[in-house]
Structure 1
Amino acid sequence: MPSSVTSPARPSARPTVAVILVAAGRGVRAASAEAPPKQYRRLHDRPVIARTISAFLDHPGVDRVLTVIHPDDRDLYAVAVAGLDDPRLFPPVPGGADRQASCLAGLAALAADAPDYVLIHDAVRPFIRRDAIDRVIEALGREVAVLCGVPVIDTVKRADAAGNVVETVPRQGLWRAATPQGFRYAEIAAAHKALAARGITGVTDDAAVAELAGHRVLLVDGGADNVKLTTAEDFQMAEQRLAAEAFLACPDVRVGTGYDVHVLEPGDGVTLCGVFIPHDRRLKGHSDADVALHALTDAILGALGDGDIGKHFPPSDDRWRGAASRLFLEDAVRRLAERGGLLAHCDVTIIAEAPKVGPHREAMRAAIAEACGIAVDRVGVKATTNEGLGFAGRREGIAAIATATVRLPLAG
């Protein structure tokens, strides 16, 4: 990210637009003891804040994006935005004691090269759409202040302190306020400074700041899906939404199978599905001989039509001597991702008289899920004996069969 706050070159025919993302909060409703602040939580495959930043960087009318963060979150922010190498993304600035103070800090950081328009947006609203941003920017050509909102469609009740309904509020003309909220920079900066000078604090949105300064605020539809991620349930619904979108984007469903077998020899244990199990034998092989992961790797490669494990990791290559087979599986998943695909489900069956797989089944499922970047409920691990028949029944080796279901975009 650049250290300068000078705007990149832009067409002179249109107003300049800066975005302030407010991310200095410490909301706890979606947090747990281990979780970071909600703006840094991973959503599907990226931190929430990275998704929100990208939504604005992807808009051709945005010239600058500036994030206001908590002073303690610099490391979290750096990790979250790694890879967003866009000159329009400016270094973050520390926020204040409340949202109003944080917005003033963001506006002050833009003052040296002030934009014509500024959009102020909650960092935990990652689903903002381009057309909503368009509506705000277009309306700023006519108004000083513009508020993205959603018309209220439910019946609204007013209750007393005891929770009793005291009034049914007519919903005509009622909107739920959201963000982005857009302003002409000079006017909103002056309004914020005036409130600060009068010692007025606790104003919860910038449209209210504009209202207090006497400006008319125009409402535009921001879309019902422009939700603010606040509770654990919000995150769960967001995950489901993104998973559904990812599946719909990959309608080409393919199934691959893999089979592998390794000889048993004297040793101290076997590695199956990435989990080491103490045993009086070990599997012989060039790598760690994890027969189950080898079969699964081949299943994914087969679904891709991309050869097999021997093609990509030949046993003649000393680089793979003793290597963890998880590396091979991760490489197959990477190849799938590079083609815009995803792993929908995988299932592994281990064929062995011993050792017992059952006590280790959940650890195996978890190891595969982590390596593949999918949920554990998309991984199956089973085991069966060969009833004393054949090489497996004679305990001469262990075999594995795997199936992988992948989804890919249609070739265009």
Structure 2
Amino acid sequence: MPIKCLKIPRLWRPEPLPTSLPEQFRSALAAGLAIFLIGLISSRFIEGGGLKTLVASMGASAVILFVVPHSPMARPWSLVGGHLISGLIGILCVRWVPDTWPAAAAAVGLAIFAMQLTRCLHPPGGASALIPVLGDAGIQALGFQFLLTPLALNVAVILAVSRLYGRWAHAARPAPSTEPHPPSPLGRIGIRAEDFHAALQDVGVFVDVSADELSDIYHFAASRAFRRTFGETTCAHIMTPQPLTAEFGDDLEPVWQLMQRKGIRALPVVDRGRHVIGMVTLKDFFRHARAESFGSLSARLRALLLRSPGVTSTKPEVVGQIMTAPAITARQDVHIAELARLLSEHGIHQVPIVDERGKLVGLVTQTDLIAALYRSVPTGLTQPALAVAS
């Protein structure tokens, strides 16, 4: 008889963890250190040891805080409120319900309901509700003191350790600007942040992921789908190699004439080692033309371009004084999907392309990107959109 392979039900198959082995080791080490510090610090203020010093539910909180720190359940209010509210409910159930098992059932059920109402859902809180009910005589004798010591003290220590670990292990994201600004093209079309918030509300059940994390997952998945559809086309495949450049000390007039003669709207500004230090555009010339001077725009531009006699000057004289810096660049091995996002988010029309040493090797414009995307569309799916009148 042939031996059939044992098929494990899909529900029981372990999913691979997205974290790397070093990250798994760091989080385990940090969680162990947090438990040690809780016991060490609490023993200085509390006598008796055991659950009177270190609440067992701190072990479960350590898993959430150090392994899935971005979970909504790992937020400070979830930790503090989840434990303290649940602990209070457990104490009240001991006082009001004489039998142990009904008191335990009521404590856990009411704790879960209260955590959801107060938006501080934290699974270890269920254990904190049980401890006053099932603890020994010493725990039950503490009464409401249990909320302060050991519970609140334990929570304060593990929260402090988790915040310190988070600052050390994860680079802080830049704070968003508080100034109002129009959304980027990517923000005006497609899925927006409020769509993710609304979708989580529409699900109707608790999902252990925040709207920001869901947005990140969506964009990662979209990027992978784009790569699958359009192939592995990178900046190196579509860039114009060795583009024309300017240097910091170049006079304005020759650079302006070069841009006009070649029909160029922007030039990378490089140093002697061909590292990109800025971009000079036609907009930069117009912006620095003396707006307060009288005369037409052409007259103001001529005044800007002419080099001032003498040693001192009251206007910009070289490219480095009018360029936009720092320049937004992309490496030559970046996929065009990321390049499209870069152009759209920053509202720019060209990107200098650099190698692994940061030296200029090419330039990609919006026209280059559109042409690359057009060539990637399967034959037969595109039709002429415009007809040229004869």
TM-score range, shorter-chain basis?
A: under 0.3
Would you tell me which structure has more strand in proportion to its own residues? 1
Report the TM-score, using the length of structure 1 for normalisation: 0.22
Report the TM-score, using the length of structure 2 for normalisation: 0.23
Larger Rg: 2
